[in-house]
Amino acid sequence: MMGEVRNFIIIWLHVITSLCVCYVVGKKVPKGFPTLFAILPIVSFFLALPLGLNTMHLGGLFAFFISWLANSKLLLFAFGKGPLSDPSLSLKHFVVVASLPIKIRSQNSPSHKSIWNYIIKALVLSVVLTSYKYMPPMLLYCLYCLHMYLTLEIILAIISVLVRTILGIDLEPHFDEPYLSSSLQDFWGRRWNLVVTNILRMTVFDPTRRIALRMVGPKWAPLPATFMTFLVSGLIHELIYYYLGRVRPTWEITQFFLLHGLCIVVEVGCKKKLSSKFRLPRVVSATLTIGFVLVTSFKLFLPQLLRCNGDQRVFQELASLTDFLKHPLLFLYN
């Protein structure tokens, strides 16, 4: 456990040093392909760094933060776009915004959630963690999905609070109660992991939409852009799953995102055709949406994670964390 923590700290020092180099490059090198070519070695380096970690929590979070989000921000930065392109960013703020899954809050963004919202979710997560051994196999997948969602939201909320407290930056929330989604478009576009949604919009959706505008016009251009966004998201998730399991991809994750992308394309197309003539009651549409997300997760999203014993490894890591909290000195000297 301590060996993994040491590796984690060393790798983060590499990240901070590399981002300092990118900051200097941004000040000295013209934007566009010159900056892109200058930072490509660092982008490649960030893709290799997760291979130095073996735990689900540290390795998965690092791959998400750095190999996906930080690299996406750096590619946007090379062309003067994205959250790192603000010339007023200091080196400290540049490194923080680049390396963490945060988005500086705009005036029209949702307000912060009550602390009670997170306390309740933390209590629910503790119940989930203690309920696994009592659940029949058919309900375990539901717990896995709930476990992943609550863990991710709580960790990202803690990071946001720390950044907001230390740097005084007002940040946008990461989730907006996705279990209340009334459609797949609502789930993925406005409620689930909004920092990722914003990055995918800038890196994939907007460029694809601009190309599609010339081919199919403004009314239908968002549809191929949406499908391409889900394809890229699926491929990135395959990479993250590879970091976690180090096994050959089965492409089930890509199928999951392609299916959802195709369904959103159909959903948006139907809305454009039907307008407001036909609309399901919200309770029905919300039930169908969450049901579809859960069933497709059971069939396509979770199996690859479970084949690399992801559930067992998570529990082992949580047990190691519990032992560390009980006997920190014992771990420090081992």
Q: What is the mean pLDDT of each run of 10 residues along the chain (334 residues)?
A: 84 97 94 95 97 92 96 96 91 94 73 81 90 81 92 92 86 91 93 94 95 86 92 96 91 96 88 70 91 95 88 83 65 52
Task: Give me the long-range contacts of 140-147 (CB less than 8 A, separation at least 24).
Answer: 141/294, 141/297, 141/298, 141/302, 142/294, 144/302, 144/311, 145/294, 145/297, 145/302
Amino acid symbol at 322: T
pLDDT score recorded for residue 322: 74
Whole-structure pTM over 0.75, yes or no? yes
Q: Which residue has the tokens 């889900």?
A: 230
Q: What is the DSSP letter of 114?
A: P
155 phi and psi angles, rounded to 5 deg: -60, -45
pLDDT score recorded for residue 228: 95
pLDDT score recorded for residue 201: 95
- For the chain, give every domain's residue range: 1-101, 104-173, 178-301
pLDDT score recorded for residue 52: 93
pLDDT score recorded for residue 136: 81
pLDDT score recorded for residue 325: 65
Cα 146-135-260 angle, rounded to 5 deg: 35
Instruction: List b or e across 253-275, with b for residues whose CB sees 16 or more CB atoms inside 10 angstroms.
Output: bbebbbbbbebbbebbeeeeeee
Nearest to 51 by CA among 234, 252, 236, 245: 245
pLDDT score recorded for residue 289: 95
Beta bridge partners of 104: 171
Question: In a 10 Å sphere around its CB, with 0-12 CB exposed, 13-18 middle and 19+ buried, how is residue 284 labelled?
Answer: exposed
pLDDT score recorded for residue 298: 93
What distance lies between CA 24 and its chain's CA centroid? 27
Task: Give me the long-range contacts of 318-325 (CB less than 8 A, separation at least 24).
Answer: 318/129, 320/1, 324/1
| Cβ neighbours of residue 97 closer than 8 Å, sequence gap 6 or more | 73, 83, 84, 89, 104
Measured distance CA(1)–CA(5) in Å, rounded: 6
Cα 251-254-257 angle, rounded to 5 deg: 155
Q: DSSP labels for 223-280? A: HHHHHHHHHHHHHHHHHHHHHHH-S---SHHHHHHHHHHHHHHHHHHHHHHHTTS---
Measured distance CA(165)–CA(163) in Å, rounded: 5
